[in-house]
Structures are given as C-alpha cells and as structure tokens.
Amino acid sequence: MGAQAPKTINYMDSNNFISKSLRQEHLKKISGLRYEDEEKYELQSEIRNLLKKNNASLIAHYYTDPSIQDLALDTNGCVADSLDMAKFGAITESDTLVVCGVKFMGETAKILSPKKTVLMPTLEATCSLDLGCKVEDLQLLKDQHPDRKVIVYANTSAEVKSIADWVVTSSIALDVMDRLVSEGKKFIWAPDKHLGNYIQKETGADMIIWEGSCVVHEEFKLEGIMNLKYLHSDALILAHPECPDKVLNISDFVGSTSQILNFAKKTDNLKFIIATDAGIFHQLTLQNPNKEFFQAPTSGKGATCISCAYCPWMGMNDLFKLRDTLVNKNNEISLEENILDKAQKSVKRMIDFV
Ligand code: SF4
C-alpha cells in the first residue's frame, strides 16, 4: 500500500475538543436533569406552534434528546440516521429545515436543499471525526495519490465533501465500496479508521485509511461487552461500524443506527447488547416494548471521563435552544456557493446511488 495517512490529534488524550462547558452540559444530560415535565410540555407546545408559523420541519438524529425526537415525529418531521435526515430535508415541502444533530448534518441538508433555510439549535455541536479531518490535510494526501478516488464519510465538513469523489454514510458505505471495488478502483478513505478497516476487511478494497475516530464508539471495550454477554448469553450483540474491530469481530450484527433498529425489530430474539450512542435506546424501546436492550459498557482500560455512550455534541441540542432558534431565526447554515456546488456533486452521487 502507498503512503501513510497523516495522523490527527489524539483528542482522547487532550482537552482540545472537549471544553469545560461542553462537559457540564453533557453531565446535565446524562443525569436526567434537563427539564421538569411541565416545562417540557410547555416548550414542546411552543415549538410546535413556531414550526407551524414558520412552515418549518423538524429533523432529528436518533442520538438526540428523546423529547426532541418525540416532537419531530409528532409534527410530521423526521427522526433518522444521517442519510435519511438528508433525504427527508430534500423532499419535504417546508421552507425551513430545523436540524437537530451535529453541524455536518445541517450542512448536508443545506447542500441538498440550497434554497431552503436551514437552522440548528446550536452551531457549536460538532463531531470528533469532522474535527479530525481538515480539508488542507486531506487535499495534501489527495495530491500525493492522484490515482485514488477520495471517499469521505458523511461526518465531515462541507469543505472536505467538496474535494471528495464520493460521500457515504454508514448505511450505504459497504454497497458503494463493493461497486467501486468491482470497477478496479483504489481509494483514500477518511476519516473514521474503524469503519474504514471494516470496509477494507469486507470488500478487500485497496485503501489508505485516515486516522480519525468517534469519541463515543471508540470507548466500547471488548472485555466489558464479553462480561455483559456472560451475564446475558442469549443476547445478540449489535454494533455500529465506528466501534473498534475487537468489538465488531464478536458482534452478531454490524450496521448503521437505522440498520440496528431494523434488525432489532425484525429478529425474533428478545435480548440485545447495543454498542452505539445511548440515544438510540429511545426508538429501540418505543419500537420493541417486549424486548430487552442493554447498553454495551464503555468502561475498561483506556476509558475516559466521557465514557458514557452519549455524544457530547449531540447532547447540546435541547428544547430551550430549539425554541430560541425558531424565535430568533439564528444559527442559520450558510455555505460559500463554490463549496456548496462542489460538495453537492459528491453528496448527490450518494443520494442517487440509494
Ligand atoms: S456520536 Fe461520534 S460520530 Fe456521531 S456525531 Fe458524536 S462524535 Fe461524531
């Protein structure tokens, strides 16, 4: 294989990406202290009216606050993984899309619907994969390997997407790569190394793999999962492909959030160990009231203070910020035309593939 991909900052060993305020918000979320019931219903009712008044649709990721997910479904919006969020934004007739998730999701919505107003409860919600893949660094690698196609994960900035040949989400990464491999192509893959390694193993692709990872999925540990499996030997292990390979190797099913939800629904098994962000438990339990789900442990060697299976950036979305965004019409996603046009080509390739 060719040259090594550049190393990115090891955010797990530094505080570069996890600020004090982010940690505090995160702790508030996992301690369940976000709102009183009455306050929650009032906020939801206020937001419902504001969505109607602004002809806006609420689009939420499975990892966001359950009260936002409920509201999105209740107002004919959408709760989905990043691929379906992008598709929904493009087909809904609403003038305004309010995207609850992380920044690259708002940007993807804007790329696919440039004429629509795209708002987010906060523009500070980002992603360790996005932060670890700067466009200048990827351009450098691309220049060194002009014979390789650049495939980037959706968890990247619009700038990174604008220099990629393909954008893929975890739902369709394997299918896209299978086809490209059969065409005899070679690749640069960025930024998630675990998903990249998984694709390489499954498809035999010739890939230079970036050194990025997700702060949440990186924390799932083989030993903890095996201990839990020992206690629940009849549970199936369902894992997201951003988990380390040791976890993927012992999993009964590997898939994106929507694929995990589909699998849990379709299979007759009644118990599952889930190795992805704990936000998915809201839909898992709503859709399968008769089944039991256990959060895969994140403790063990190398675990950190954010080892709780909740994405700190997804956790920045709350009903207060959502309400304020609709009132003030702030936190709007805007992209340079040139970037948007170029990114649109690679994102549309993904949408057309589906
Ligand atoms: S869960 Fe991981 S991949 Fe998803 S937004 Fe958070 S940091 Fe990024």
pLDDT at site 224: 87
Q: Quick check: helix, strand or coil at residue 284?
A: helix
Separation of CA 183 and ligand 1 centre (Å)? 31
- Residue 165 belongs to some domain of the structure: no
- Residue 196 belongs to some domain of the structure: no
Tens of pLDDT, residue by residue over 243-294, are 999 999 999 999 999 999 999 999 999 999 999 999 999 999 999 999 999 9
pLDDT at site 299: 64
Pocket test for ligand 1, best of 103, 277, 281, 307 (most atoms within 8 A of CB): 277
Same domain, residue pair 123 and 25 = yes
Atom of ligand 1 nearest to the CA of 63: 1
Q: Which is more confident, 236 or 309?
A: 236
Q: What is the Cα–Cα distance from 160 to 145, expressed in whole angstroms?
A: 16
Helix axes of 103-112 and 82-91: crossing angle, nearest 10 degrees:
40
A 10 A CB-CB count for 256 gives: 23
- Residue 247 belongs to some domain of the structure: yes
Separation of CA 314 and ligand 1 centre (Å)? 7
pLDDT at site 29: 60
Closest residue by Cα to atom 8, ligand 1, is: 127
Same domain, residue pair 263 and 331 = no
In this predicted structure, the answer to whether residue 240 has a pLDDT above a threshold of 70 is yes
Same domain, residue pair 253 and 291 = yes
Q: What is the Cα–Cα distance from 170 to 154, expressed in whole angstroms?
A: 8
Separation of CA 6 and ligand 1 centre (Å)? 21
Separation of CA 216 and ligand 1 centre (Å)? 6
- Residue 139 belongs to some domain of the structure: no
Pocket test for ligand 1, best of 217, 258, 307 (most atoms within 8 A of CB): 217
Apex 354 CA angle, 240 and 275, nearest 5? 5
Q: What is the Cα–Cα distance from 154 to 226, expressed in whole angstroms?
A: 31
pLDDT above 70 as % of the chain: 88
CB 163 within 8 A of CB 142: yes
Pocket test for ligand 1, best of 103, 213, 214 (most atoms within 8 A of CB): 214
- Residue 229 belongs to some domain of the structure: yes
- Residue 222 belongs to some domain of the structure: yes
Query: Which residues have CB under 8 Å from 163's CB, separation 6+?
Result: 135, 138, 139, 142, 150, 342
Same domain, residue pair 319 and 234 = no
30 pLDDT band, cuts 50/70/90, is low
- Residue 227 belongs to some domain of the structure: yes
Closest residue by Cα to atom 3, ligand 1, is: 214
Atom of ligand 1 nearest to the CA of 214: 2
Same domain, residue pair 27 and 121 = yes
Same domain, residue pair 286 and 224 = yes
Closest residue by Cα to atom 1, ligand 1, is: 311
CATH number of the domain enclosing 222: 3.40.50.10800
Same domain, residue pair 26 and 115 = yes
Query: Which residues have CB under 8 Å from 354's CB, separation 6+?
Result: 83, 87, 172
Closest residue by Cα to atom 6, ligand 1, is: 311
pLDDT at site 7: 40
State the average pLDDT for the chain.
Answer: 90
Query: Which residues have CB under 8 Å from 295's CB, separation 6+?
Result: 273, 274, 278, 281, 309
pLDDT at site 308: 72
pLDDT at site 6: 43
pLDDT at site 307: 55
Same domain, residue pair 277 and 327 = no
pLDDT at site 14: 40
Task: Show the domain range for 263.
Answer: 217-295
35 pLDDT band, cuts 50/70/90, is confident
Same domain, residue pair 320 and 240 = no
Number of domains, the chain: 2
Tens of pLDDT, residue by residue over 83-140, are 899 899 999 999 999 999 999 999 999 999 999 999 999 999 999 999 999 999 999 9
A 10 A CB-CB count for 15 gives: 10
In this predicted structure, the answer to whether residue 10 has a pLDDT above a threshold of 90 is no
- Protein residues with CB under 6 Å of any ligand 1 atom: 63, 102, 127-129, 155, 214-216, 242, 277, 311, 313-314
Tens of pLDDT, residue by residue over 320-342, are 999 999 999 999 999 999 999 99
Nearest Cα residue to 80 out of 158, 166, 170: 170
- Residue 110 belongs to some domain of the structure: yes
A 10 A CB-CB count for 36 gives: 9
Separation of CA 281 and ligand 1 centre (Å)? 16
Same domain, residue pair 268 and 330 = no
Pocket test for ligand 1, best of 153, 215, 260 (most atoms within 8 A of CB): 215
Atom of ligand 1 nearest to the CA of 104: 5
Atom of ligand 1 nearest to the CA of 101: 5
Tens of pLDDT, residue by residue over 189-227, are 999 999 999 999 999 999 999 999 999 999 898 988 999
Separation of CA 182 and ligand 1 centre (Å)? 30
Tens of pLDDT, residue by residue over 38-52, are 999 999 999 999 999
Tens of pLDDT, residue by residue over 156-175, are 999 999 999 999 999 999 99
